[in-house]
Amino acid sequence: MDYTHLGRTGLRVSRLCLGTMNFGPQTSEEDSHAIMDAAWERGLNFFDTADVYGRRKGEGRTEQIVGRWLAKGGGRRDRTVIATKVYGSMGDAPNETFLSALHIRRACEASLRRLQMDHVDLYQMHHVDRNTPWDEIWQAMELLVQQGKVLYVGSSNFAGWHIAQAQEAARARHFYGLASEQSRYNLLERTVELEVIPACRSYGLGLIPWSPLGQGLLAGILRKQREGRSATSRTRERLSRHREQVQRYESLCDELGQRPADVGLAWLLHQPAVTAPIIGPRTMEQFEGSLRALDVALDDKALARLDDIFPGPGPAPEAYAW
């Protein structure tokens, strides 16, 4: 397993991050623990979860599953970097959502109980809160860091200017600020290249892409359809808009002798600022398949052909101005 630093930090994490969103809703606890064991044994030391995962509002079901796996001991906690998130609704009361100091503090304490840990390695804001001032947010995060309950703070789904806002507010407080940003990023969805990635590189944030395979469109969907496997109506609708690109993509993957899913993940690993794409397996087979991407080397010619099929927007402002 290869490791890299999370942005400008000294923290070293695996080049793939194990996403746990399916643990509970689609994957049984027993199978979830087996996947985490396999990930750990193969050197993946970076696991991502969130308080709202599990589909049962307020329960934090996925965090509980991860917590019971960590509680098995054997070095699981000490050798694993655990990332979780705050923002989403954990109840119907007025202060059980968003990023008020009250919710941040209560949500962190609740996540620690569910995860059976004394601190979170990476505590991520799941979305920007436009109605809470940065001084309040950073005051709450600073307190958690001072208390030893959080080591690093990250963001998710932030725009480039949100990252700049957050970092300049942190700088004014002499606080470290954000260590990472988690964004939707894949060959089909490259808008983060306009300003989010430049902001991450400028401020030293590690980028953690989610949905690296475009909700399955980059995982060999046409081949699966020919084999008689079905897709959701939403996936079929998205495919209808991108069919020509996906056909060219799968043909290129055939030329390269690689699976489409492996090429899609490998492409992300070649992009600047990317720390670790999030893989979200439902099954052990899917997890083991994801590891093959680590062995796929894309040369300049292959990368250029991928850019031709899926052209990115380019960095701002040159992408839309002279």
Tell me the pLDDT tens digit for each residue of 263-321: 999 999 999 899 999 999 999 999 999 999 999 999 999 999 999 999 999 999 999 99
Say what percent of the chain tops pLDDT 70: 100
Asked whether residue 231 carries a pLDDT value surpassing 80, the answer given is no
DSSP state of 295: G
How, if at all, do strands 46-48 and 206-210 pair? unpaired
Q: What's 3-216+259-301's CATH class?
A: alpha beta
Active site residue 53: yes
Instruction: Compute the distance between CA of residue 286 and CA of residue 265 in angstroms, rounded to an integer.
Output: 13
Asked whether residue 230 carries a pLDDT value surpassing 80, the answer given is no
pLDDT of 224 reads 86
Asked whether residue 227 carries a pLDDT value surpassing 90, the answer given is no
Instruction: Compute the distance between CA of residue 258 and CA of residue 292 in angstroms, rounded to an integer.
Output: 9
Predicted confidence (pLDDT) per residue in 251-275, tens digit: 999 999 999 999 999 999 999 899 9
Sequence-separated (6 or more) residues with CB below 8 Å from residue 209: 182, 183, 184, 185, 186, 268, 274, 277, 278
Predicted confidence (pLDDT) per residue in 164-213, tens digit: 999 999 999 999 999 999 999 999 999 999 999 999 999 999 999 999 99
Q: What is the mean pLDDT of residues 30-53?
A: 97
Give the count of beta carbons closer than 10 Å to the beta carbon of residue 57.
13
Instruction: Compute the distance between CA of residue 110 and CA of residue 120 in angstroms, rounded to an integer.
Output: 11
pLDDT of 234 reads 83
Which residue has better confidence, 229 or 172?
A: 172
Q: Which of 3, 53, 249, 320 is catalytic?
A: 53
State the pLDDT confidence band at 322, using cuts at 50, 70 and 90: confident
Mean pLDDT of the chain: 96
Domain ranges of the chain: 3-216+259-301
* 3-class DSSP string for 123-176: EEECCCCCCCCHHHHHHHHHHHHHCCCEEEEEEECCCHHHHHHHHHHHHHCCCC
Q: What is the pTM of this model?
A: 0.96
Residue 59 tokens read as: 């329960």
